[in-house]
Structure 1
Amino acid sequence: MQAAMSKGQGSGRSLAVDLLKIGMAVMVVGIHANPFQPLGRIANLLTGEGLYRIAVPAFFVISGYFFYSAAQSGRVLPYVRRTATLFVLWMLIYIPISWRHYTGFWNMTVPGFWRELILGYWHLWYLSGLTLAAALLGLMRSWSTAALLAVAAAAYALGVGISWSVAWGLVDPWVSPHLHRNGLTLGLPFLILGYVMRRHDLPAKITWQSALWPAFVGVALVLAESLALAFAAPQGVGHDNLVALALAAPAVVLVALTIPGLSNGPTLGLWSSGIYFTHIIPCALLFRFREGCERAFDAGTADAACRAVFSVTTLPTPLIFVLTLAGALALTWAILRSGLSRRLL
């Protein structure tokens, strides 16, 4: 999750991009612990299943934009090695939380176990996805823009098709969301969009005011599509592959890239990575195990640990969001203070 600067800003980091990344990281927290959930289904569709879904594609677009220089200077392998190393490190860090997921807590099959392990626990799929997408784009780095966009469109259409197949009952809804949310069907398309934006130096060719219009239209379409999919589809599906994200995510990033202003050093940008990587630690402890504990309570098999977690997770969702964000900020601060940011962020 790296950020730097747009071409026209000299040698420094884009303040707008760093601030956008922090905002997007907070949105990811909102996906997993939506503070608007008590307001009802419409509020959730507009936020956690709508607006907030722009965040991860936007991260891929930003990564693609700055991956361009690595690809053109022959540093694809070090880039891929770095993202793969981050993935392994964070998977190890999350073992105390994820072990139940990988030891049959969800009645996982052997193929499912390896699929989930390789593709990543919960939010860490982003790192496995970025690793795969960067490796693939590195192989295609010299392709024409038209060819790259064709690959992006085909890959994204595949993800959308799988997502719709789940929504219309053609694919088992309990199959892993990794089927449509992975480095090929979600990471690669948006990485390519960012890469192409940098290849043609779009931020230097338009003003941020003119970039606002496609961003506004894209966001509005995301909200509309989220509502339409929820009410038209026979069964629910995660809104990771909304068609409108293909406009909204790159447009929002383009706005940030065209806003002048530099950030003082890399620290601000590291906070977004820290929030993203660490937030599931407090979130899982406060909220995510509640469903499993509820089932255990219903079956009369809840152990002491489950009872303790369940007693904590009776907190209202808005408070869980606040506590999760506060916990992520505290953990990020600790990483920065300890000097581990170079290895973990």
Structure 2
Amino acid sequence: MYQRIYSIDYMRIMLAAFVVIGHAGMGRETFGVYGLITLNTILRLAVPLFAMTAGFFLLRTRQRNKYWLWTRRMAVLYVVWYLIYFLFMGLWHQGVGQSLRELLLGFRHLWFLEGLVVAAVMMHFMVALGPRVMLWSAILLAGVGVALEYAAVGHLIGIPLEIFRSGPFFIYPFMVMGYLFASKLTQPDSVPWSIPARPALIAVMMAGFLLALAENAFFLTTINEYALLEYQIGMFIMAPAIFALVLNVRAPETDLPLGVMASAIYVMHYLFLHFAAQMHVPHPLPAALVAFLVPAALVLLMVRLGRGQRWMAQLF
């Protein structure tokens, strides 16, 4: 069994910041088109790396016979936070059909929680088939997802975003990668390939990054100026290389609940951004700072006071 890897905790809080920056709208007007391409490619690493982290820890969860408990908890979290947003954003004015569609296909940023549930169910049945089958299934589904996205963004087919940005085609491949990394660390012989050395990982990361930039640039210049991709082929190359590099970083130990703070920021930040928009806050930076700092401070306060542990376990 591996010990706590603090570098993953630090990565998660950084990824939470990526999510807030992206959703705050600090994009085209702030950085320009080419800056937006670069920023979009970097910020969209958050979901793949979050999914890999979930898959990484799911091995230990499975070994503790808590796999389905975790899956049910993610499902409950999704429904609870959907209801919270439904109330605070006043969504009862929209039609029942629209509400059901959002709930089933994934509501705003909360789609990630639903995607985790779907991917976890899929992965449960694939684990018994071995790491090779798991990896090939991930590659196949990732390929289908990218093809669907390219066709949709290129106006070749008319399918909603939620079809290809979903548990099967987006979250599952990265969750499998994280699970296989954990398997390699805990039982090296269980995975029939090795993790490349640091120089090779850096080269793979840069190659994936450049490919992702090229993919974004191609669609922005050939389709239209709003044709930003949700994910790219390069992302599936870059993210696992980054994750492997992070695993090898010796980060300072900390008693800060960085993982819980990152989760709280992820689920709560959109509320603050929504309220900022309602109040017509002129610049996205103040809203982004509040959306990041308040959830983190709330978790830290509950931990320091020794209260709210049960609430944190239920909500984050």
Aligned to 1:183: 167
1:20 deviates by 0.6
Show CA shifts across 1:247-291 (max 9, x none): 11111111111123463446122111111111101111223xxxx
Query: Equivalences for 1:115-264 in 2 at 5 Å?
Result: 115-172=101-158, 176-201=160-185, 208=198, 210-234=200-224, 236-261=226-251, 263-264=253-254
Number of aligned positions between the proteins: 305
Amino acid at match of 1:139: F
C-alpha separation in 2, matches of 1:270 and 1:73: 20
Describe the shift of the 1:57–1:205 C-alpha distance in structure 2 as closer, same or farther (beyond 3 A): closer
Aligned to 2:267: 277
Identity over aligned pairs, percent: 23
Amino acid at match of 2:162: H
1:124 deviates by 0.7
1:141 deviates by 1.0
Instruction: Name the SS for the 1:171 alignment partner.
Output: coil
Show CA shifts across 1:5-43 (max 9, x none): xx5xx53x2111111111111001111114354232222
C-alpha separation in 1, matches of 2:64 and 2:70: 11
Show CA shifts across 1:291-344 (max 9, x none): xxxxxxxxxxxxxxxxxx2xx325123333333323443444456553321111
Instruction: Name the SS for the 2:127 alignment partner.
Output: coil
Which of 250, 262, 267 aligns to 2:257? It is 267
C-alpha separation in 2, matches of 1:225 and 1:60: 22
Describe the shift of the 1:103–1:254 C-alpha distance in structure 2 as closer, same or farther (beyond 3 A): farther
Instruction: Name the SS for the 2:237 alignment partner.
Output: helix
Instruction: Name the SS for the 1:280 alignment partner.
Output: helix
Please identify, of 224-233 and 161-170, the stretch whose mean Cα deviation from structure 2 is larger: 224-233
1:50 deviates by 1.5
1:52 deviates by 0.4
CA contact (8 A) 1:80 1:134 kept: yes
1:62 aligns with 2:67: no
1:163 deviates by 1.3
C-alpha separation in 2, matches of 1:245 and 1:315: 33
1:45 aligns with 2:29: no
1:117 deviates by 0.9
CA contact (8 A) 2:106 2:114 kept: yes
Aligned to 1:341: 312
Aligned to 2:289: 322
1:28 aligns with 2:28: no
CA contact (8 A) 1:18 1:263 kept: no
Describe the shift of the 1:206–1:31 C-alpha distance in structure 2 as closer, same or farther (beyond 3 A): same
Amino acid at match of 1:16: S
1:77 deviates by 1.4
Q: So what's the TM-score if we normalise by structure 2?
A: 0.86
Instruction: Name the SS for the 2:230 alignment partner.
Output: helix
For the aligned residue pairs, the C-alpha RMSD in angstroms reads 2.7
C-alpha separation in 1, matches of 2:259 and 2:149: 32
Aligned to 1:80: 71
